[in-house]
Structure 1
Amino acid sequence: MARRVFLHVGAPKTGSTYVQNVLWNNQGALRGAGILLPGGNWAQDQAMTDLREVEWRDPRASWTWQRLADEAAGWHGDVIVSNEALGGATPEQAARGVAAFAPAEVHVIVTGRDLWRTFPSMWQQSIRARNTWTFTEFLTAVEEGRFPTFWEMHTPNRMLKKWGDLVPAAQRHLVTVPPPGTPHDTLWKRFAGIVGIPDGLCDLEDPTANPSLGAAEIEVLRRVNGALGEKFPHRTPYQLVVQRHLVNAVLKNGRNDVRFGVGLDRAGWVADLAEQQIKELRDYPCQIVGDLDELRPVNMKESSSPDDLDESRVLETAIETIVGMLEHADELTRVPNADGIRALELLKLRAATRLKRTLKKAGRR
């Protein structure tokens, strides 16, 4: 039976990819230290979709939440389950999720980030999950209360109430994301300190970082999503093709030089929300690793929006993206015995041609 189980339930865009990459890149060392990561990265993701009973669960998925719990039950040390989408579980699903690991001592870890940085990151993440709304549409939906999923999955006070209330106060943990300019390993040290991972055990080099896209690159992806129709539906088909071959292979390597964020017209609203969160968290019994003041936005300044990009810049970035995809396709065709990959690239090139025509038409409007 596992001694302790640490459920890292979110939130997205709070350094979760970095933490998870360190965990999986050091799986062997952690196991030697008595810490199990049950299944694999994809297994834990599949288990999340099973627990949440989402309609976009991959029909080929074989890992369930119970299967994850069963593997943990056969371990005699500590266990870590980390998936940032767990924050989207309903209260009933969260209760089942915690109960599955009984009688182990279950700990809940939530990570929080200031809203000024969270809003643009969350919108970008939604576009990379096949959404098509503009940044303004997203912010307006959140502001008017028409996007409750944001609050459930991205605010630590909501996630702690839903997951943390299921375990004793001493087993609830909030990690605050450090501000820009903080040493890169600060977030990892905060997380590792909760679990008890010794300093120096893990190699902190992350060969698979998850950088943000620039305004032009994410706008191109948003328009591609709109042009896809029924092709590559969310979630697995989109990840295997669009995320892998367009986002990871090409867009992430683009210029990404136009940054964007929330405009100053919403600064007061964001600041008020932050103060409300901080107050609620000060009154909530849990271990705080970091500082609640880090949830208070700083350096709020006027930022551009992807919605305001000149069409010529979008077209220029789209053409650069097509060139990048051609180079990527050429690299793949040089792989020995890659007949299947060549066929896939042919389909992508045809799609890129259609995209180019569409964007040229848009540029003439």
Structure 2
Amino acid sequence: MSLAPRLLEALATVQDPELRRPITELGMVESAVLADGTAHVKVLLTIAACPMRSTIEADVSAALAALPEVTEVKLELGVMSPAQRAELRESLKSRSIPFSDPSSLTRVIGIASGKGGVGKSSLTANLACAMAADGLRVGLIDADVHGFSIPGLLGIPNAQPTRVDEMILPPVAHGVKVISIGMFVPDNKPVIWRGPMLHRALEQFLTDVHFGDLDVLLLDLPPGTGDIAISVSQLLPGSELVVVTTPQAAAAQVAERAGSIAVQTGQKVVGVIENMSWLVLPDGSTMEVFGAGGGAELAKRLELVLGTEVPLLGQVPLDPMLRAGGDAGVPLVLSHPESPAAAQILAMSRALTRRPRGLAGLKLGVTPV
């Protein structure tokens, strides 16, 4: 292998669009030679049908062309051998769940609700994009296997994950790495699975999907306290919960059950979100379509049940643009960040990520002298 130092330095700035690591670290640069102002470079793709082929080609060419000593770029794209893919796969992941390791610094937050129709998935998609827009590395698992909707809400309804042998590379939407069972089900067919299969699906998302280093991993949980909620507590014992409700008293009562599961699972409920809190009318007044006070009441009840502080993170008003953004695949926090609903979601996102994780119990690799 021939690698010119200056070319290698430029290529180190090029990231694989799916793995989000420099192509030089991934062993994708087979050769790089500079002769009479021409950069002759060969880059190996992970698979022949790599969906990001054109992106990699453009990024490599741009990085090399930016060097003053390069007047022409001749790029050849090849494909990794099975042995090279196996080496790459082993360097990236193991069969264990990285987010369940006590040393992991990734915040794992499940977004839960007692019942459907409270806007949980829309809020999850917007929270993920808000965190990514703030510069965090964010992953999102659509754990609502029977009612998956995250791909559509993020504008990638037909996205197909890239497979590198047994490893799955999640598509990226708006800076968020996303995986959903909807990416594996053709023609919007229903998923008719029972408990063991649901558990196995979630386990595969956590072991076979390469998310890389994340600051936050969000899970859009199905409503209620069924199999997936139990599996999350078993597979991700350090995960936390945010409970979504509407202001209606009946909805808050049902949502209490979703939060109270933490008594049995040992998880921590880090907050409550009240959605659809009011509607702003043309004259500037507000209408409380679904009543008032459900979010605050839910937070108070959960504090009594769990014996810990459960804050009301925010109240999100009814906003037609929130629905329109979901239909268009561009979340409100990106399309209209100045809107009242987006402002609330952005504030809640920062409240969730602002909490520093302590170092208690972590190995710091420091030896006393």
Q: TM-score range by the shorter chain?
A: 0.3 to 0.5
Indicate the structure whose relative CO is greater, using CA pairs within 8 Å and at least 6 residues apart: 1
- More strand by percentage: 2
Which is greater in Rg?
2
